[in-house]
Amino acid sequence: MKSIILAVTLTLGAILSLMAQTISVHDPVMIKEGDTYYLFCTGRGIAVWASDDMENWERQDAVFPEPPTWAKEVVPDFRNHIWAPDISYHQGKYYLYYSVSSFAKNTSAIGLATNKTLDSDSPDFKWIDHGIVIESVPGRDMWNAIDPNIITDEEGDNWMTFGSFWEGLKLVRLSEDLLSVQNGPEDWYTLVRRKRTFELDERDPGDAAAEAPFIFKKNGYYYLFVSFDLCCRGEKSTYKMVVGRSKNIKGPYLDREGISMYNGGGSLLLEGNDNWYGVGHNSTYTFGDKDYLVFHGYDAQENGRPRLFIKSISWDDEGWPMVSIN
């Protein structure tokens, strides 16, 4: 009898665990236009979902039914599987940055598309691609041009943080029209690095696994959320999220112990458990009077299938974010 009750309890727990994760997504970002929330995610042509309650999601048409015309020049084996978008609103338009890359290589570029509206029923709805914003080239660069996130500082300047593995995560200042990167060395910063166990070369991303930077302003701080360790490996996924903060957008970003993320620091925010092999690649927002962490987790009940999480953030007495998946 006890075994039957235990089995029912475990089954019910699995069902309840999945109820809030109704769709399969990877690298979700979110924005609200009017009464509708929109998710943009890794997928063929960039996957798009819409909802009026952040719980029930309806699939929309992909941003790029056909691959961007420039993509194959950067990635010869590109098949229109576009990674890790970032969506934001500036100057009366929606700016959608996205990643074109080869897995485990820094043969990569970040592109940009804009639209006047996200409502596909509007006569103004049309995605316009502006091509490459920044590109990384093997043998030339020891950084990786993927996982963009755009943040506007207190002075109104726009910055892009990005990167994965290699020599760390970068911050660069964007031009006023947001179509290109400012090229002076004073506009480039390395925000996050992790120690490697072997010498890095241009053919190998190394084992200093850090990616998916996202900066969020709150109570006078810039909070830098980053994903450590490995994604996309089913039951071997070890993805977890860490955080640091700074009064200056350029850093240094310090964790709870005062260790700079440039020197390997980062306070653990959330990691996997028995139900989820790993959780990561988050974005962070304020809607109404609540702050939210949006991310994906690898479902242990579904062979590591990535599922959507949208969780409320609470803040402790020292101003650090707290999130739970239990």
Assess whether pLDDT exceeds 90 at residue 322: yes
Q: What's the alpha-carbon Rg for the chain, to the nearest Å?
A: 19
User: CA-CA distance, 67 to 128, in Å (whole number)?
Assistant: 13
In this predicted structure, which of 1-5, 110-114, 155-159, 202-206 has the lowest mean pLDDT? Answer: 1-5
Q: Lowest mean pLDDT of 15-19, 100-104, 120-124, name the range.
A: 15-19
Is the pLDDT at 319 greater than 50? The verdict is yes
Catalytic pick among 211, 229, 291, 299: 211
Confidence at residue 13, expressed as pLDDT on a 0 to 100 scale? 40
**What percentage of the chain has pLDDT greater than the value 90?**
74
Check residue 9 and give its pLDDT.
35
DSSP run (H or E) holding 240: strand 240-246
Least confident residue range of 65-74, 122-131, 162-171, 203-212: 203-212
Burial 201-210 (b: 16+ CB within 10 A, else e): eeeebbebbb
pLDDT, mean of residues 230-253: 92
The average pLDDT across 279-295 equals: 97
Quote the CA–CA distance of 29 and 304 in Å, as a whole number.
20
Confidence of residue 231 (pLDDT cuts 50, 70, 90): confident
- The pLDDT tens digits of the residues spanning 1-12 come to 444 433 333 343
Q: What does the alpha-carbon distance between residue 27 and residue 256 come to, in Å, rounded to a whole number?
A: 26
| 3-class DSSP state of 157 | coil
Q: Which residue has the higher pLDDT, 294 or 209?
A: 294
Is the pTM higher than 0.75? The answer reads yes
Quick check: is 73 catalytic?
no
CB atoms within 10 A of CB 88: 17
- Please tell me the predicted confidence (pLDDT) of residue 15: 36
Average pLDDT, the chain: 89
Confidence of residue 38 (pLDDT cuts 50, 70, 90): very high
- The pLDDT, as a whole number, for residue 186 is 73
Residue 289 has pLDDT above 60, yes or no: yes
Superfamily per CATH, domain 24-322: Glycosyl hydrolase domain; family 43 (2.115.10.20)
pLDDT (tens digit per residue) in 193-219: 987 665 555 555 556 789 999 999 999
Cβ 196 vs Cβ 207: under 8 Å: yes
**Where along the chain do its domains lie?**
24-322
Flag whether pLDDT at 87 surpasses 70.
Answer: yes
* Residue 211 falls in the annotated catalytic set: yes
Lowest mean pLDDT among 62-66, 196-200, 289-293: 196-200
Residue 19 has pLDDT above 60, yes or no: no
